[in-house]
Structure 1
Amino acid sequence: MAVTSAMIGSIVYSLPADCTTVIVNGIGYQQCSNGWYQPQYMGTTVQYVVVDAPQ
């Protein structure tokens, strides 16, 4: 299930299997197909914020 159509700023709790970690300017992102996600922690739970492709 690709979440590439999610709106920027949306939060997802799981990512597709085709993701890779990309470091841009010292920040880790997950790139999944055409989507970019930035992990953030809420307590001990990780969630992913949909972001624009980093520059």
Structure 2
Amino acid sequence: TAAFPAGNSWHDVRLDNQQHIDKALPGRIERRCRDVMRIMLPLVKELAKAS
């Protein structure tokens, strides 16, 4: 996209920041955070039982 001319933003301070990502991809960071917690929380709980 025009927001990410090289196809990525990794290590480019103009693009690899929360403000730019939120503007270019609204809601993406929030959704990814929810996805991570939805997957990781049950996993951590299950692993805690195994100890």
Name the TM-score class by shorter chain: under 0.3
Q: TM-score, normalised by structure 1?
A: 0.21
The structure with the largest helix share of the pair is: 2
Greater relative contact order structure (CA < 8 Å, 6+ sep): 1
Computing the radius of gyration from Cα coordinates, the structure with the larger value is 2
